[in-house]
Homo-oligomer: A and B are copies of this chain.
Amino acid sequence: MCAHPTSASARTRPTIYDVASRAGVSKSLVSLVLRDEPHVSDARRQAVLEAIEELGYRPSRAASALASQQTRSVGVLIDDFRNPWFVELLAGLRSVLDPAGYTVSVADLQLEAASGRNPVDGFLAQHVDTLVLAAEPRAELLRNIPVPVVVAGVRELGPAVLPRADVVAGDDERGGELATRHLLDLGHRRIGHVTGRGGPAAHRRKGYERAMTAAGLRPLVVGAGKGTSEQDGRSGALELLDRVPPVTAIVAANDVMAVGALAALRERGLKAPADVAVVGYDNSPLAAYGYLALTSVDPHSREIGAEAARTLLARLENPDAPRRYALIEPALATRPSTGPSRNGQIHEP
């Protein structure tokens, strides 16, 4: 005797067996209905659905994972919960993953690293079906990952470290250009840039440099190799403000750094936008606070998330499809931090 159908017992949650016997069908049929398979008669399907409803049946993820060898879960690695740009990314991911029946779990690289854990390993131990990388872990953490990877927002990782990964990223170079052009259009000429470590920052810097060069101006970049925190933004901005002559506008590599730049301005007795204009990047909730009111490049993170999710689903469907590499077009969200300056619209060097 191998099989021992569970009887509909009193205490325990109903199982597929209970549903089956209540609907007067076999367990297999219930399984088919659950997964929306086409070849089931309407009558049976109806009966099963009713039984499910009446019993309040909920399939066991563990059992289904064990039997099917897939968890229907995806791990999302973000950089730092304190930098709120990830919120929209997550919303976008879930908007398509949820309807598809996938669970998403999130980890914060900073937090994991701080406690000496390996977040990628953690996800693999959970047996996620796939990994979304919205951060840049050290390359050694990414050695032979046995599941598909989608890089979201950090295209640097794509070709180099993870040759097989799909990439859906914001066009950060374009974004850096947008920010700088906006300042140029406002009449600024001495525009400085505070950059930092990492792929996104590098692309944003490149965009800034391209726009400056195109306008016949010399790029002025600080913070290369440093971090991307508020403090880094502040010290970079101070450096720019202390140049002679000082800058009249600052492009920061992200919103948090832009907030740091605002602090630097105040320390020097200056105001944005009257004395110095400031532009951030990410269009995070931070930028929208009335007190900060930062003009910021909007990478359309929600769309990046949704597209990354679609890519991931497609990849799961077809593991051998050619690698996807999508760049989402950013836009500029204009706010008072680049409003009219003290000297009218025109800044001369």
Contacts and interface: CB of A to CB of B under 8 A. Distances in A.
A145 to B, nearest CB: 13
A90 B81 contact: yes
A285 B111 CA distance: 14
Contacts of A285: 82
Contact of A82 (B84, B106, B108): B84
A259 B263 CA distance: 14
A82 B86 CA distance: 9
Interface in A71-119: 71, 81-82, 84, 86-87, 90-91, 94-95, 98, 103, 105-106, 108, 111, 114-115, 117
Contacts of A108: 87, 90
A90 B61 contact: no
B234 A290 contact: yes
A66 B58 contact: no
Interface stretch (A19-27, A121-129, A152-160): A121-129
Interface in A204-246: 230-231, 234
Interface residues of A, number: 46
10 contacts: A58-B124, A62-B62, A62-B66, A63-B66, A81-B86, A91-B111, A94-B111, A105-B106, A259-B292, A260-B291
Contacts of A260: 289-291
Given A82-B285, A91-B111, A105-B105, 20 more contacts: A2-B2, A58-B124, A60-B66, A61-B65, A61-B126, A62-B63, A62-B65, A62-B66, A63-B66, A81-B86, A87-B108, A103-B126, A106-B106, A230-B289, A259-B292, A260-B289, A262-B291, A263-B291, A266-B291, A267-B290
Copies held by the complex: 2
A contact patch SS: helix
A62 B231 CA distance: 44
Interface in A16-67: 58, 60-63, 65-66
A185 to B, nearest CB: 26
A90 B115 CA distance: 12
A117 B127 CA distance: 24
Contact of A87 (B82, B103, B106): B82
Interface string A260-297: 10110011000000000000000001000111100000
Contacts of A71: 62
A127 B58 CA distance: 10
B66 A95 contact: no
A24 to B, nearest CB: 26
A264 to B, nearest CB: 8
A68 to B, nearest CB: 9
A108 B234 CA distance: 31
A110 to B, nearest CB: 9
Contact of A289 (B62, B114, B263): B263
B125 A111 contact: no
A65 B98 CA distance: 23
Which of A71, A81, A95 has the most chain B CB within a 10 Å cutoff?
A: A81
Contacts of A61: 62, 65, 125-127
A69 to B, nearest CB: 9
